[in-house]
């Protein structure tokens, strides 16, 4: 069981200053689903269906242990994030995070390591909200230089960098990460930052005291750099069918999924069927052949029928002529 707290409004506001850059949020279910996952649900007003705004009250409940929230990195109005979180849960995850932490320190960037269920999260805080695209260029290049594996780009295991997107389109939320200092509902445990006492106040004071990364520094560190090729978001290229007359009858999966990246052979996207089951958080279970986008496959094993059904486009038995 986990410790309960009763934090003050000041403590909640210290948390908001560090972590909250966009007020939409999600809340973790209290009980696991039959498949063992404990999903997060975006918090919406039950009447208007509009996203509810994260406020001091919800943050206090999170810190006290009554609810567990997750946070979106990017504010779509500015395309900026207050922090970068590096999530690692593979074999050797902690070692990779320590390596990154040490290397960041050489740049004068103090990063804080938080425990997680299977590894850790390494957090870097901006002195001001930083462009998501620049944060990603910095961390991806740093990781590749160190030989730390980065998930995606052909690798199934590796670190995941939040913000997960360079920028958000209208109405998009991007990926959310479990907010620190709360209770993980899967294990009913709190996971703390290593360098401070195990209570919200001491933890936030420690995080407040870290040297923050400025935009000017970030610009210097990333000068002349780009996101490594394999991890660049795909340039959306409309598919032109060879036979336009078949367009209305033939199913094209690219019309239904949002691709997250592209490599020489495939587009990659979140598998709709996995998504319906609360899986494929990294959004790359589904591959769609670039050469022939009629061919697609879920690497977690969903069938074509399941994928089509999840899209509300069930495969129709061919009508008898």
Q: Tell me which residues touch Zn ion (CB under 5 A).
A: 271, 273-274, 285, 298, 300, 302
Q: Which is nearer to Zn ion, 142 or 274 (CB)?
A: 274
Closest CA to 138 of 112, 100, 168: 100
Listed in sequence order, the DSSP H helices in 65-157 are 93-106, 132-146
Q: How far is the CB of 273 from Zn ion (least distance, A)?
A: 4
User: How many angstroms separate the CA atoms of 151 and 65, rounded?
Assistant: 31
Q: Which is nearer to Zn ion, 160 or 284 (CB)?
A: 284
User: How many angstroms separate the CA atoms of 136 and 132, rounded?
Assistant: 6
Q: Which is nearer to Zn ion, 295 or 300 (CB)?
A: 300
Q: Which is nearer to Zn ion, 202 or 276 (CB)?
A: 276
Tokens 């445990």 belong to which residue? 189
Q: How far is the CB of 300 from Zn ion (least distance, A)?
A: 4
Q: How far is the CB of 302 from Zn ion (least distance, A)?
A: 3
| DSSP secondary structure letter of residue 51 | B
Q: How far is the CB of 155 from Zn ion (least distance, A)?
A: 19
Q: How far is the CB of 83 from Zn ion (least distance, A)?
A: 30
Cβ count within 10 A of residue 77? 8
Q: Which is nearer to Zn ion, 5 or 299 (CB)?
A: 299
> What b/e string do you get for 262-276 counting C-beta neighbours within 10 Å, with b at 16 or more?
bbeebbbbbbbbbbe
């Amino acid at each position: 069981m986990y410790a309960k707290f009763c934090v003050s409004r000041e403590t909640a506001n210290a948390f908001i200053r560090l972590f909250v850059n966009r007020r939409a949020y999600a809340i973790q279910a209290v009980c696991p689903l039959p498949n063992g996952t404990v999903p997060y649900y975006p918090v919406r007003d039950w009447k208007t269906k509009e996203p509810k705004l994260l406020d001091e009250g919800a943050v206090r409940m999170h810190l006290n242990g009554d609810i567990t929230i997750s946070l979106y990195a990017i504010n779509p109005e500015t395309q900026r994030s207050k922090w970068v979180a590096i999530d690692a849960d593979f074999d050797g995850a902690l070692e990779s995070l320590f390596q990154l932490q040490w290397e960041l320190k050489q740049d004068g960037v103090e990063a804080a390591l938080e425990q997680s269920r299977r590894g850790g999260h390494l957090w870097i805080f901006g002195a001001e909200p930083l462009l998501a695209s620049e944060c990603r260029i910095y961390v991806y290049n740093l990781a590749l230089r160190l030989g730390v594996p980065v998930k995606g780009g052909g690798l199934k295991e590796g670190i995941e960098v939040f913000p997960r997107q360079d920028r958000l389109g209208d109405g998009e939320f991007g990926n959310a990460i479990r907010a620190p200092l709360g209770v993980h509902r899967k294990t009913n445990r709190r996971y703390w930052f290593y360098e401070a006492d195990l209570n919200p106040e001491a933890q936030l004071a420690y995080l407040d005291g870290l040297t923050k990364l400025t935009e000017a520094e970030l610009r210097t560190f990333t000068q002349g750099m780009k996101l490594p090729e394999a991890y660049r978001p795909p340039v959306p290229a409309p598919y032109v069918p060879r036979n336009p007359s078949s367009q209305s009858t033939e199913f094209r999966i690219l019309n239904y999924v949002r691709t997250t990246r592209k490599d020489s052979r495939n587009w990659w996207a979140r598998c709709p069927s996995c998504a319906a089951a609360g899986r494929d958080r990294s959004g790359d279970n589904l591959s769609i052949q670039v050469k022939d986008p009629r061919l697609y496959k879920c690497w977690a094993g969903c069938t074509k029928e399941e994928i089509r059904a999840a899209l509300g486009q069930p495969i129709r038995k061919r009508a008898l002529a």
